[in-house]
A and B are shown apart, each in its own frame.
Chain A
Amino acid sequence: MEFLNTSIGRKMIMAVTGGSMILFTIIHLLGNSSIFVGPSGINSYAEHLHSMPLPIIVAFRAVMLALFVVHVIYGIQLTLENRVGRTSQYALKANRKATFSSENMIWTGSLLFVFIVYHLLHFTFRSTPGLKLVTDASGHFDVFAMVASSFTSFVGAGIYVAFVAVLFLHLYHGIQSFFQTIGQANDSTLPTITTVGRFVALVLFLGFASIPLSILLGIIKG
């Protein structure tokens, strides 16, 4: 298909997959913030999610996996193509608009990849060591206990804060990039889109970071 043969087509796919994952991330944060209500909040939220019919859960996870995989593959492929766009380098190159974030998308992306794999192993498959896995008398899994056990150490919480900091860097460029790539930006909207995009990235960072930090600092208690 020609659309996928050109960089614009593939970038649009990246924009749409990335955009979908941003939406997921926002919903994820909203759901996770139920932890601030206390153990019952997050537990009932998790309970609610897990009580959905299995086919829906499987389908959802499959879609998320597909989005993720496509985004990663095209990201790597396009970056490799771009690397050869310039055969010889400038002795001096002064960037005027590029940011640390825009220049390091492949690296922040790679780190996110590692983190996400860790995160899935950690909280989805619960296969990392040291997790407190408790099921109450009625057979309900205690998500709160598991999360709390992970974030009581500086390392445990630190990993997650670092994780969302990288996410912030990725989205700092990524959100406005989404609109530009799908062609929904112009000279009057792009500055606003950029500012709002960076703000959203910051809110996500603060929101996600507040959970491990709150647990670490004992603001949320079981």
Chain B
Amino acid sequence: MSDHKTMTINLVVWRQKNANDTGKFENYTVKGITGHHSFLEMLDVLNEDLIHAGKEPVNFDHDCREGICGMCSQVINGMAHGGQERTTVCQLHMRKFKDGDTIYVEPWRARAFPLLKDLVVDRSALDRIIQAGGYTSCHTGGVPDANSTLIPKPAADESMDAAECIGCGACVAGCPNGAAMLFTGAKVSQFAVLPQGRPEAKQRVLNMVQAMKDNNFGNCTNHYECQAACPKGINVKFIARMNREYFKAQF
């Protein structure tokens, strides 16, 4: 353990007062960081320092701090969530950095995600994609017994692979085109492989694809940066499946 060794970190942080402000980078130095600090705890330390110094603390989205809520959303050194495999910012620890490192911290940047303040963006466009069809239209109550439809384990597993998405938007932030294909593909696929999802499969994929377009997301160019950025490792095969579903829906 490296409890006794502490690091000094140089931060270059995007500061922007609100959507209309142009925004700029500010340089900060944080001292006394250990390898056990999470990245967000390092930002906490920065903020405590800034407040004590009479300066404006940095606003950043965070909540569960255990990698599941999808709230934290920072681009660190050019990589959404910092580039550690299958890790959100809140689970990224400072032991991945070295004493004296300079770290760039930026917000998600995409046309579909207007900036609210500093590192905080508005991701409601993702909600609107789900609203366009990311559900089965079952009523509360009046549904059959859970075991009345058998679902092969491989299908259930495949569906779960897709359903693991935490909706953080890293795929959009990482995509050179600001596309939400991985997000949408995962949701389309989760339902497409389950019998419960088949009755509405056609309309679902058409509506959700249209919603991506309506909400200013870009297109897919198969770079697969989304998969690299995804903290849950969602596979681009779900984009392929969405494409397939979309094609089938034409007939």
Instruction: Please say whether the chains A and B touch (CB closer than 8 A).
Output: yes
Query: Are the CB atoms of A185 and B110 closer together than 8 Å?
Result: no
A86 near B: Cβ within 8 Å? Answer: yes
Residue of B with least CB distance to A79: B221
Query: Are the CB atoms of B111 and A92 closer together than 8 Å?
Result: no
- Total number of residue pairs linking A and B with CB closer than 8 Å: 141
> Which of chain B's residues 69-99 have a Cβ closer than 8 Å to chain A?
75, 77-79, 83
Specify which chain A residues have a CB less than 8 angstroms from the CB of B104 in the assembled complex.
Answer: 91-92
Partner among A84, A94, A102, A186 whose Cβ is within 8 Å of the Cβ of B79? A94
Specify which chain A residues have a CB less than 8 angstroms from the CB of B236 in the assembled complex.
Answer: 180, 190
Partner among A3, A78, A86 whose Cβ is within 8 Å of the Cβ of B250? A3
- B contact face: mostly helix, strand, loop, or mixed: mixed
Specify which chain A residues have a CB less than 8 angstroms from the CB of B167 in the assembled complex.
Answer: none
Query: Are the CB atoms of A187 and B246 closer together than 8 Å?
Result: no
Partner among B216, B225, B227, B243 whose Cβ is within 8 Å of the Cβ of A182? B243
Specify which chain A residues have a CB less than 8 angstroms from the CB of B78 in the assembled complex.
Answer: 90-94
> Which of chain A's residues 148-183 have a Cβ closer than 8 Å to chain B?
173, 176-177, 179-183
Specify which chain A residues have a CB less than 8 angstroms from the CB of B206 in the assembled complex.
Answer: 2
CA distance A86 to B250 in the complex (A): 30
CA distance A192 to B250 in the complex (A): 29
Stretch at the interface among B38-46, B123-131, B147-155, B175-183: B175-183
CA distance A67 to B217 in the complex (A): 27
Specify which chain A residues have a CB less than 8 angstroms from the CB of B239 in the assembled complex.
Answer: 180
Partner among B12, B209, B218, B246 whose Cβ is within 8 Å of the Cβ of A81? B218
- Chain B interface size band reads 35 or more
Query: Are the CB atoms of A181 and B243 closer together than 8 Å?
Result: yes
Query: Contact mask A111-134 → B, CB, 8 Å, 1/0?
Result: 000000000000000000000000
Stretch at the interface among A6-14, A40-48, A137-145, A213-221: A6-14
Specify which chain A residues have a CB less than 8 angstroms from the CB of B135 in the assembled complex.
Answer: none
Query: Are the CB atoms of B225 and A187 closer together than 8 Å?
Result: no
Query: Contact mask B196-240 → A, CB, 8 Å, 1/0?
Result: 000000000010011001001111111111011100000111011
Query: Are the CB atoms of A95 and B106 closer together than 8 Å?
Result: no
B117 near A: Cβ within 8 Å? Answer: no
Query: Are the CB atoms of A98 and B83 closer together than 8 Å?
Result: no
A211 near B: Cβ within 8 Å? Answer: no
B37 near A: Cβ within 8 Å? Answer: no
- If A6-B209, A97-B228 touch, whether A85 touches B223 (CB-CB below 8 Å) is no
Query: Are the CB atoms of A96 and B75 closer together than 8 Å?
Result: no
Query: Are the CB atoms of B213 and A180 closer together than 8 Å?
Result: no
Query: Are the CB atoms of A98 and B218 closer together than 8 Å?
Result: no
> Which of chain A's residues 1-26 have a Cβ closer than 8 Å to chain B?
2-3, 5-9, 11-12
B247 near A: Cβ within 8 Å? Answer: yes
CA distance A183 to B192 in the complex (A): 14
> Which of chain A's residues 181-214 have a Cβ closer than 8 Å to chain B?
181-187, 190
Residue of B with least CB distance to A106: B221
Partner among A86, A90, A180 whose Cβ is within 8 Å of the Cβ of B111? A86
Partner among B109, B209, B216, B224 whose Cβ is within 8 Å of the Cβ of A98? B224
Q: Which residues of B contact A (CB under 8 A)?
A: 12, 14, 25, 75, 77-79, 83, 104, 106, 109-112, 174-179, 206, 209-210, 213, 216-225, 227-229, 235-237, 239-247, 250
**A to B CB contacts below 8 Å, 9 in the list:** A84-B218, A87-B110, A91-B106, A92-B104, A103-B176, A179-B240, A183-B241, A183-B247, A186-B237
Q: Which residues of A contact B (CB under 8 A)?
A: 2-3, 5-9, 11-12, 78, 81-82, 84-99, 102-103, 105, 173, 176-177, 179-187, 190
The 7 closest A-B pairs by CB, nearest first: A85-B218, A183-B244, A85-B178, A7-B219, A94-B78, A92-B78, A82-B177
